[in-house]
Every structure is written in structure tokens, then in C-alpha cells.
């Protein structure tokens, strides 16, 4: 009988302690949720900076979009809700809007850049590709930007098209293929190489009526119009 009484007493004590701790937890949560804090000014901060600051006050942050701003750089907070100085309960969410950049942007210097590099720079600056014009010139290799409109450093509206003038490289001079048949091959090859032509193929063949070392066949043939990038083939007697 005494053991049963002690058992019931111990069980009652355990239940009392459980209820006591549960009540304490619920009470603390009620107190926590009823606590009021002041919302700090988050404008000009990144979302990461705002999150760190709000965490100290048991608040959280959520991004609610972007908008153009001449005051704040891209990625910085321009507006918040609730506003700075507002009194709100802890665990609440502060919603923020970040800057997508200014309506005015500065045109980058694209001179000497490849077309791909120039387009990447325009996109990063908030500008569009405008009219493309190409000319032959020895000033820059083909595909490089010679000029642009608007000029570098100009402050313009975002999404303005920028016109580009691209180099097509130098214009190759054209030559008339001379008659090389019967000439000494060593001299012909040396002369052609010195002038920048490509003697790509030399074949040595037996010609019973020709002395050794003479050009007996050529491609392109005599009178053909060629450029320095064209390949020249020769057959030489042996």
C-alpha cells in the first residue's frame, strides 16, 4: 500500500514538472512574440547586410523586386516595408526593393575590342547593340571595333543602341601570276617567299628534255590573278 502511494506521488510530481516546463515554454513564446522592436533603416545596404542587421532584432528580410534608381547602385536597397523607425513585433518580415541601376548609364570604351567583348561590355553597361558597319583598314585586325556612336564616356539613357564600326582587316593586293616555266626553281622559290607568297607544294619530276632544277609546271598558271594568301604549287625537273 505504501509503495503504491509512493508511486502515485512520484507520478504526480513528474506530471507536474512536465506541465510546469510546457507552461514555461509556451509563456516564453508568448512573451517573445509580444516583444516590439524598432525597424532599422536598410536603404543603401545589400540584402546580405540587411539580413545580418535584422537577425540581431529577431526579424527577417525578403526581397520584393527591383526598380531603377539614380541614387543607389545596382543591388542596394532603395525601399523597405515597414519603413525605418516603425515598431513591429519580432519574428516579422521586412520586405525590401533593390536597385536595378540608374536610368542614365555611361557608354564604355569599346575601341580595339572584339565584337563578342564589345557586346558583353554593352550588356553589362545596360546598353544594346546598334547598327554594325564594316570597312577594310590596316589599322586593326578583322573583327575589332574601330569606332562607336555614342562616344566613350557619354552619359545616355539605359537600353540605348550603340552603333559599332568594325574592321574587316587590310585589303589584299592582287597580282598577275608571272610565267615561271623554264626558270631556275631555287631563284623562283626564294623570290616568291621574299614577296610573301606561299609556295605550298613543290614536286620534283623527271623531264627528259629539261635540265635539272627548272620549273616545268606551275599552279596558278601564267596570267592568273592571285593574292598573297593563295597557295602556289610548282613542278621542278630533276
175 Cβ contact partners less than 8 Å away, ≥ 6 residues apart: 225, 226, 227, 228
Are 65 and 99 in contact, with CB atoms under 8 Å apart?
A: no
In this structure, whether the domain defined by 104-167 belongs to CATH 3.30.10.20 is answered with yes
pLDDT in tens, the chain (238 residues): 555 655 565 566 666 667 666 655 554 555 455 689 999 999 999 999 999 999 999 999 999 999 888 889 889 999 999 999 999 999 899 999 999 887 888 999 999 999 999 999 999 999 999 999 999 888 888 889 999 999 999 999 889 999 999 998 877 667 899 999 999 999 999 999 888 888 989 999 998 888 999 999 999 999 998 888 788 999 999 9
pTM over 0.85: no
Q: What is the DSSP letter of 206?
A: -
Q: Give yes or no for a cis peptide into 82 (omega within 30° of 0).
A: yes
83 vs 213: CA distance, rounded Å: 93
103 vs 157: CA distance, rounded Å: 6
Assigned CATH topology for domain 174-237: Trypsin Inhibitor V; Chain A (3.30.10)
**CATH 3.30.10.20 in the chain, residue ranges:** 35-101, 104-167, 174-237
pLDDT value of position 22: 63
pLDDT value of position 171: 72
pLDDT value of position 15: 63
Are 234 and 217 in contact, with CB atoms under 8 Å apart?
A: yes
Pick one of 3.90.340.10, 3.30.10.20, 2.60.120.560, 2.60.40.10 as the CATH number of 35-101.
3.30.10.20
Amino acid at each position: 500500500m505504501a509503495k503504491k502511494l509512493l508511486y502515485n506521488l512520484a507520478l504526480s510530481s513528474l506530471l507536474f514538472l512536465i506541465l510546469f516546463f510546457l507552461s514555461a515554454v509556451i509563456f516564453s513564446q508568448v512573451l517573445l512574440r509580444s516583444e516590439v522592436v524598432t525597424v532599422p533603416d536598410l536603404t543603401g545596404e545589400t540584402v546580405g547586410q540587411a539580413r545580418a542587421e535584422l537577425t540581431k532584432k529577431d526579424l527577417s528580410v525578403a526581397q520584393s523586386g527591383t526598380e531603377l534608381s539614380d541614387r543607389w547602385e545596382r543591388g542596394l536597397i532603395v525601399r523597405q516595408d515597414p519603413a525605418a523607425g516603425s515598431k513591429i513585433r519580432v519574428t516579422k518580415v521586412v520586405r525590401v526593393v533593390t536597385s536595378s541601376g540608374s536610368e542614365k548609364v555611361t557608354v564604355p570604351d569599346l575601341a580595339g575590342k572584339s565584337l563578342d567583348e564589345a557586346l558583353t561590355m554593352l550588356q553589362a553597361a545596360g546598353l544594346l547593340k546598334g547598327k554594325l558597319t564594316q570597312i577594310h583598314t590596316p589599322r586593326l585586325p578583322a573583327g575589332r571595333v574601330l569606332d562607336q556612336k555614342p562616344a566613350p564616356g557619354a552619359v545616355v539613357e539605359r537600353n540605348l543602341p550603340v552603333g559599332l564600326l568594325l574592321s574587316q582587316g587590310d585589303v589584299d593586293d592582287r597580282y598577275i601570276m608571272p610565267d615561271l616555266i623554264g626558270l631556275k626553281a631555287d631563284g623562283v622559290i626564294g623570290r616568291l617567299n621574299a614577296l610573301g607568297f606561299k609556295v605550298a607544294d613543290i614536286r620534283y619530276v623527271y623531264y627528259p628534255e629539261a635540265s635539272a632544277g627548272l620549273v616545268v609546271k606551275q599552279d596558278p598558271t601564267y596570267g592568273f590573278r592571285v593574292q598573297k594568301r593563295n597557295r602556289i604549287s610548282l613542278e621542278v625537273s630533276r
